[in-house]
Amino acid sequence: MQFIRPANDIDSHCPTCPPTSRRIGTARAGVHFATFIVADPQETEKAMPELPEVEITRRGIEPHVLGRRISSVVVRDSRLRWPIPDSLARTLTSLKVEAVRRRAKYLILELGKGCLIIHLGMSGSLRVLNTGERALPHDHVDIVFGDALLRFRDPRRFGCVIWQAGKAEQHPLLRQLGVEPLGTEFSGHFLHRATRNRKVAIKQLLMNQLVVVGVGNIYASESLFRAGIRPQTRAGRLSRERCITLAGAVVDTLQESLRAGGSSLRDYVQSNGELGCFQLQTMVYDRAGAPCRRCSTPIKELRQGQRSTFYCPSCQK
């Protein structure tokens, strides 16, 4: 299952798209049409908030916005990954938040006749503040709920704030995403089926959003360590038993990160402004040359898809 178009369909005229990005469809945004692309993962996965960070943000904002009506919207800079249309404030004002969901790394505010889809990009955060709180540089969008607001901050402007009329899953960015690793569909048996006849390295398959969503570089490395599997192992060579072990390791790693408040590697903060601390307890990620916490063997680093991979050569086979 694949949704990117051939290389000759690259939108070379889009100033926000990396040259390796490919178009996946168009969707109406207010009175404008926006072309939606999926960037080369090498451009977007280096330190991007992953599933735990997005889920923690969802849990943090939900009590403050659920059941409340949007009183106004302030857009200070519309130049995000896809430009915010001038009509967004008019579209959102007076709509009631009926649900706050997450799909993969996307936050979704269900607003009755449609939904707002938010992606944090590589440096974004969504914080709950009192109305009137002074905006700082890179505070691009405020969604105001009377005496409180959601503030979208994104120094690198790789994130997005998109209105979708109808269901979020109908949007081109969400339409063909893989299974949720914390959902009922994900299991060792699913992973075993997904890896059959696949020559790609298992770490790269774990990070393929068309197979399983939200598992980025940090959590793929940590999950493979927990499962005792080398990241460069061909996915198709894993037995059913090792797939069951790996699926359990993915779930355990993500849940442990949720308990730790996520990973704050660059710009990520929780909705209350606090940092996550999972990065302080990683077993292999970003620990090249340091002794393994289990066996004291130095952690090794290699490059996969132009991203750093970390593993223990003794504990992982």
Beta-carbon contacts of residue 296 (< 8 Å; ≥ 6 apart): none
Name the active-site residue from 22, 58, 105, 242. 105
Name the active-site residue from 22, 41, 50, 62. 50
Report the distance separating Cα 182 and Cα 237, nearest Å: 24
**Does residue 307 carry a catalytic annotation?**
yes
**Does residue 98 carry a catalytic annotation?**
no
Smallest CA-to-CA distance from 39 within 15, 25, 21, 26 is with 21
Report the distance separating Cα 129 and Cα 142, nearest Å: 10
Name the active-site residue from 22, 41, 45, 49. 49
Smallest CA-to-CA distance from 36 within 75, 8, 4 is with 4
Smallest CA-to-CA distance from 178 within 206, 217, 219, 218 is with 206
**Does residue 49 carry a catalytic annotation?**
yes
**Does residue 50 carry a catalytic annotation?**
yes
Distances (CA, A) of 180 to 132, 142, 214, 304: 37, 29, 8, 23
Report the distance separating Cα 261 and Cα 35, nearest Å: 34
Provide the terminal-to-terminal Cα distance of the chain, rounded to the nearest Å. Answer: 30
Give the HSE-up count for residue 141: Cα atoms under 13 Å, Cβ half-sphere: 27
Helix (H) or strand (E) holding 254: helix 240-260
- Side chain identity at 152, as an amino acid letter? F
What Rg value do the Cα atoms of the chain yield, rounded?
A: 20
Report the distance separating Cα 283 and Cα 249, nearest Å: 13
User: Counting Cβ atoms within 10 Å, is residue 174 exposed (0-12), middle (13-18) or buried (19+)?
Assistant: middle
What residues act catalytically? Answer: 49-50, 105, 307
